[in-house]
Structures are given as structure tokens and as C-alpha cells.
Amino acid sequence: MWLWIAELVAVALVVAALPVVLVQRRAPVATLAWVLAILLLPFLGVLLFFLLSWRRPERVREKYHRKARALDERAGEWPSLDAAEEDEFAHAEFRTLAAALDRMEGFPPRPGNAVEFTADGPSFHQMLLSGIRSARDHVHLEFYIYTNDATGNAVTAALCEKARKGVECRLLLDALGAVWFHKSCLARLREAGVKVDFFHPLGPLRKRFYLNYRLHRKIAVFDGVAALTGGRNVGDEYATRRKGKRAWQDLSMFIRGPAALDLQQVFLKDWYYTTDEPIEVSRYCPPPPAAGDEVVQVLPSEPNALGSAAEFAHLLAMRSARRSLRIVTPYFVPPEPMVSALISAALSGVNVEIVVPVISDSKLSLWAGRSAYRELIEGGVRIFEYQDGMLHGKLMIVDDHWCTAGSANMDSRSFRLSFEVTCFVYSRHDIPQLLTLFDQYRSRSTPVEDPLEYEKRLRDRIFCAVTRLASPLL
């Protein structure tokens, strides 16, 4: 009897859920993945769907932009900053790409910046602490993960010290990424006067309950004139070597100049969306003086089921390559349009090289990416699996002339479900350093030469097939 009841409930769940899945606007492969999950595992599939995808990405994005427009109206006018002139671009093709990004969700390309890349964890930690300690008016931080280890405690202490001296400090954390953020640390920060809040709280009774649509950006802004961004969160694994584990490799960039103010605007909109706190924009957005001669363009992106600005920007960058395309990404689960773009570039004679970690904290993503190796390698793409620890940096170097770096991974979650930020650096000043870094990663990697390497055993073929099917949901 109970079996019959369970079967009837399963059928009822499928009948109720499938129309909701089918009418939602998303990529066909993602729709198919949800349909199969619900048909094959009715109870689990329906539960996961309503937890992860009940709220449509376009509704979340529209809500965010509605709040952003409200802040725009409150601000009146954001400070006017110069956009790069044609003669400030090293190459003419930059202008077309920069104009396309500006028409998306990005800011105009800004001249007059000084950019410093760091792949060294302790250097990033010192940059963050130095930025906090040198701030005179305000410190704005937002991270996906913030842990209560030695690194996190040092940042907490620096924030508390500045807040007690009258410097206004704000800390915005993603509620899911900061799930282990200890209440004692929160109490210390708030007691010192640091304003702390959490993006998309996880309480199921809250109006804004989301498991997807996370704040994956990493931004630190100091007095509106300097900023840190990239792939690093606040924690020992991002700052230094952890005991018993190989080093966690990552990439960050320190920007001084007008582009820092664009990152400030991203933070202020994220903060206002989360807190509704009235913000006097003019106080936090003093027009910063030129600090260098590099052109930087900031591109924030929000959830979009059919592809965010981050995805389209990466596709445009890939298609603009004429000689070489060097990519580092920790989670390589490219959507189908990106697979086609990479193969098209390789078949056109572009040297396409991708470095991904073989040691990953997401085995599903690792194997989902491997399921695309065969077609990529047969299309001329060279893939290297990094062997020396977790490689968490996100970097793309195009034609040895310019690069992109930021928080977005090369997967559907970053491109279609998360809030991300990417910086485009149209300058050759930093390229030699980044090319050396890429060569170091490649030298510590094993090339995947056999396109069938992960299809020789039946177990691996099945695992690749299942994870590939689930890749739109990862």
C-alpha cells in the first residue's frame, strides 16, 4: 500500500513540476537536465529544482537592477570619469571589444590606471592589510568566503582598529560562502563599529531565500582611489600554504586610478541591494587622480539563464584572438557556445592553451570538464592539467597583448547563476609577467595528449557522461 502511495505522490510531483520547468526561459540543455532529473529521481529532482531554480534568474537580475536604478536616482549623477580615447589603445581591435562591453553591463574603458598583479598569497594578504591600515575615510570589502582562521582574524583586527579610529568600514559577505563565519567574529566587528551584512540570506522563511544566485565577487576598495579584486577570498588557503596541503594558487590585481571608482560603484550597488542603507554617493566617489597609463575596463555581471555579460565578454575575447589564447581556470565546464568558440579559434590557427587543476575541490566539475576534452583536443585545443595543488586563478591572455582577470570561473554557474566581476586590461605592461606565470603553471602540468584518455574505462566513460549531462546545473 505504501509503495502505491509513494508512486502516486511521485507521479503527482512530476506532473506538477514539469510544466514549471518547461515554461522557464533557460538553455535547452539545462531544461533537459532538469526534466531528466525529475523523471528519473522524482522526489530528489523536484526538491533540488525548487531549492535551486524555483526563482528565475531574470527575476533576480531585474530585482537587482531595480535597486541599482534606485541608487542611481538617489545619487543623481555618479562622478564623471574620462573614457579612453582611440589613441590610448595599443591596438585598434581593442576599441571594438571595449565598445561592446560598454553596451553590455560594463563601464567605459578607463585610462590612467596603475595595475599590479600578484599570484603570491602572502603578498595579497599584505596588500589587503596595507589598504585597510592606510585608509583615511572608508574601507569597503565584499567576499564570497571569509574564514575565522589566522588570515581572517588578522583582517578582522585591522577592520576593528580602523573602525574605532573613525574610518567607516563595511563588509559584505555572501550568506552561503560565509556559512562558517563565526558569530564571535561578527560580534567583534559590529562592536567595533564595522557594518556587516550578508548577501541573499539562507533563512527559508525570509523573502529573499536563494541557494543559487550567489555573490561571487571579490572586491576591496580603499577610500575610492585604490581597489583589490580577483579570485581570492579571505582565508589561510588564499593567503599562504596550509599545513599538510600543497599551496593554493590564485591571482589578484591591485588597481589605483579611475577604474577603482568603477569597482566602488559595483560595491555600493551590491550593498544597497542587500541593506537598503541610504548612501551618500558623493562621499564615497571622489574622482581619483591618474596613477599610471594603463587602460582598464570593469565588467560586472548578474545571473542570466541564457548567458550573462561575463559569458558574452569571454566569447568576444576568444573570437578576437588572432595568434594565441592562453587560459587559466579552476573550474572548466564550458557551455556549448564556448566550446565552439575555442575550437573555431584553434581551427583558425590560433594557439589555444588551457591550464586546469587536476587537484580540485569539485570533482564533479573536474569530470564534467573532462567530458569535453575529446572534441576540444581533436579541434586543436591544447589542455594541461596542473599537478601542484589547487589552481584557483582566473586569467585569459589574448595575443600576448592584453588580458582579463577577475572572479568568474569558466562554467555555467559563474556565467549564468552568480554575481561576478571581471577586469579587462588593455595594456602590454603586465603581459610579460603574466606570460611567465602561465609558463610556470604549464611547466607544472601534464599535457592531455590522448583525447580518449578519460574514456578508456567504462567507469570513466559513465562518470564523464553523467557529469556532462549535469554540467548546466553545476
- Out of 73-82, 328-337, 339-348, the most confident range is 339-348
For the stretch 394-410, pLDDT in tens is: 999 999 889 999 999 99
Residues 266 and 187 in one domain: yes
Query: Is the residue at 150 inside a domain?
Result: yes
**pLDDT above 70: residue 268:** yes
The CATH number assigned to the domain holding 350 equals 3.30.870.10
Say whether both 243 and 114 belong to one domain. yes
- Asked if residue 102 is part of any domain, the answer here is no
- Using CA atoms, how far apart are residues 463 and 77, in angstroms rounded to an integer? 53
User: Is residue 343 included in any domain, yes or no?
Assistant: yes
- At 6, is the pLDDT very low, low, confident or very high (cuts 50, 70, 90)? low
- Whether residues 389 and 270 share a domain: the answer is no
The answer on 259 and 399 residing in a single domain is no
> What number is the average pLDDT over the span 302-311?
80
Three-state DSSP at 262 gives helix
* 219 plus 337 within the same structural domain: no
**Per-residue pLDDT, 473:** 53
Three-state DSSP class for 119? coil
Strands (E), 92-246: 110-118, 138-143, 168-174, 195-199, 219-222, 226-230
The Cα 176–Cα 294 span in angstroms is 35
Please give the pLDDT value at position 246. Answer: 64
- How many angstroms separate the CA atoms of 259 and 238, rounded? 24
**Domain annotation covers residue 208:** yes
Q: What sign does the dihedral 300-305-306-311 (CA atoms) show? A: positive
Residue 206, pLDDT above cutoff 60:
no
What value does the mean pLDDT take over residues 359-373?
A: 80
Q: How far apart are CA 367 and CA 464, in angstroms?
A: 6
302 in any annotated domain = no
One domain for residues 289 and 351: no
CB 139 within 8 A of CB 165: no
Tell me: do 331 and 190 sit in the same domain: no
Q: Is residue 299 included in any domain, yes or no?
A: no
50 Rama sector, left if φ>0, alpha if ψ -120 to 50, beta otherwise: alpha
pLDDT in tens, 119-150: 988 899 999 999 999 999 999 999 999 988 88
Q: What is the mean pLDDT of the chain?
A: 84
Structure confidence at residue 17 (pLDDT): 67
User: 198 forms bridges with which residues in the sheet?
Assistant: 173
Same domain, 123 and 164: yes
Residue 474 is placed in which grid cell? 553545476
Higher pLDDT, 341 or 89: 341
Query: Which residues are known catalytic residues?
Result: 216, 218, 223, 392, 394, 399
Shared domain for 212 and 234, answered yes or no, is: yes
**Residue 435 counted as domain residue:** yes
% of the chain surpassing 70 pLDDT: 77
pTM for this model (two decimals): 0.87
Query: What region, left, alpha or beta, does residue 400 occupy, with left being phi > 0 and alpha being psi -120 to 50 degrees?
Result: left
Question: pLDDT class for 85, splitting at 50, 70, 90?
Answer: low
Look at residue 267 in the predicted model and tell me its pLDDT: 97
Answer whether residue 474 shows pLDDT above 60: no
pLDDT at 27: 66
Within 225-308, residue ranges assigned H as helices are 236-239, 258-275, 281-284
Question: Whole-angstrom Cα distance, residue 68 to residue 77?
Answer: 13
**333 and 419 fall within a common domain:** yes
Q: Which pLDDT tens digit goes with each residue over 55-74?
A: 667 778 888 888 888 888 87
Together in a domain, 24 and 92: no
Closest CA to 285 of 63, 69, 74, 64: 74
Q: Both 318 and 367 in a single domain? A: yes
Domain encompassing residue 431: 309-473
Cross-strand partners of 333: 411
Answer whether residue 168 is part of any domain. yes
- Number of domains forming the structure of the chain: 3
